[in-house]
């Protein structure tokens, strides 16, 4: 083989290798994007399930004015009956104060266990939430929570579509919070490391059954 033929052969091989490499890199990037999309979708679903599960057991503690402590478009604080030990319940579950919010990088779950007050006044308060606060990042994302508050259950037969309460600056008033029966949650999992990947969005609306059936707060 002459030098010219060798050079031509090497040139052809280099073109073929470049093409194969380009296809390989494209496949790897597509696979990575699919993996990121799958992961973020699963993370968004898990976060949504966590939030809805705890809202479902929201409750107004005895002596408190509302089950919902504060409510804004991207955060909510409420009392809930959580069995945090994972063991069978043998007595009264003291309400836990739960907060979901966004700190700029992740959706946070902040919990503060309640403590019964010994020999409380006849009109209360009957519990305190002052110690034992735990903060956990529920979902790393570039997008904050989106919350809507309704005065009807998540599933109600009505000719008029449900309309969320308008949320003023500073959040819902006490009177409005007392009338909230369901909350709509939109969780968006956006990846800062892969901004080219479309965010995964999960939406759910949950009825707070204990609040709907509230007859004066738990005892």
pLDDT in tens, 131-172: 899 999 999 998 999 999 999 887 755 556 778 999 998 999
Domain boundaries in the chain?
Answer: 31-212
Quickly state the pLDDT bin for 36 (edges 50, 70, 90): very low
pLDDT > 70? residue 61:
yes
Q: Which residue has the tokens 């479902």?
A: 56
Beta bridge partners of 204: 185
pLDDT > 50? residue 1:
yes
Beta bridge partners of 101: 108
Cα(83)–Cα(46) distance, integer angstroms: 19
Position 218 scores a pLDDT of 47
Q: pTM for the whole thing?
A: 0.77
Position 198 scores a pLDDT of 78
What contacts 24+ positions apart, CB below 8 Å, involve 46-53?
46/139, 47/107, 47/138, 47/139, 47/187, 47/189, 47/202, 48/185, 48/187, 48/202, 48/203, 48/204, 50/109, 50/138, 51/100, 51/138, 51/185, 51/187, 51/204, 52/185, 52/204, 52/206
Q: In the Cβ-directed half-sphere of 180, how many Cα atoms lie within 13 Å? A: 36
In tens, the pLDDT along 110-139 reads 999 999 988 888 888 899 998 899 999 999
Tokens, residue 127: 């519990």
Cα(174)–Cα(176) distance, integer angstroms: 5
Q: Sheet harboring 146-150: ordered strands across?
A: 146-150, 182-189, 200-207
């Amino acid at each position: 083989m002459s030098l010219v033929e060798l050079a031509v052969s090497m040139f052809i091989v280099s073109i073929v290798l470049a093409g194969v490499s380009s296809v390989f890199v494209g496949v790897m990037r597509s696979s990575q994007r699919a993996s990121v999309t799958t992961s973020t979708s699963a993370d968004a679903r898990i976060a949504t399930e966590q939030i809805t599960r705890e809202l479902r057991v929201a409750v107004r503690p005895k002596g408190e004015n509302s089950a919902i402590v504060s409510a804004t478009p991207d955060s909510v604080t409420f009392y809930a009956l959580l069995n945090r030990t994972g063991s069978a319940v043998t007595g009264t579950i003291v309400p836990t104060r739960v907060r979901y919010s966004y700190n700029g990088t992740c959706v946070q779950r902040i919990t503060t266990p309640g403590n019964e007050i010994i020999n409380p006044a006849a009109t209360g308060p009957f519990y305190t939430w002052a110690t034992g606060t735990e903060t956990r990042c529920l979902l790393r994302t570039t997008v904050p929570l989106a919350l809507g508050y309704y005065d009807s259950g998540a599933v109600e037969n009505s000719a008029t579509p449900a309309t969320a309460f308008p949320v003023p600056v500073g959040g819902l008033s006490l009177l409005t919070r007392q009338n909230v029966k369901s909350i709509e949650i939109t969780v968006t999992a956006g990846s800062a490391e892969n901004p080219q990947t479309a965010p995964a969005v999960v939406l759910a609306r949950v009825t707070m059954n204990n609040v709907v059936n509230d007859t004066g707060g738990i005892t």
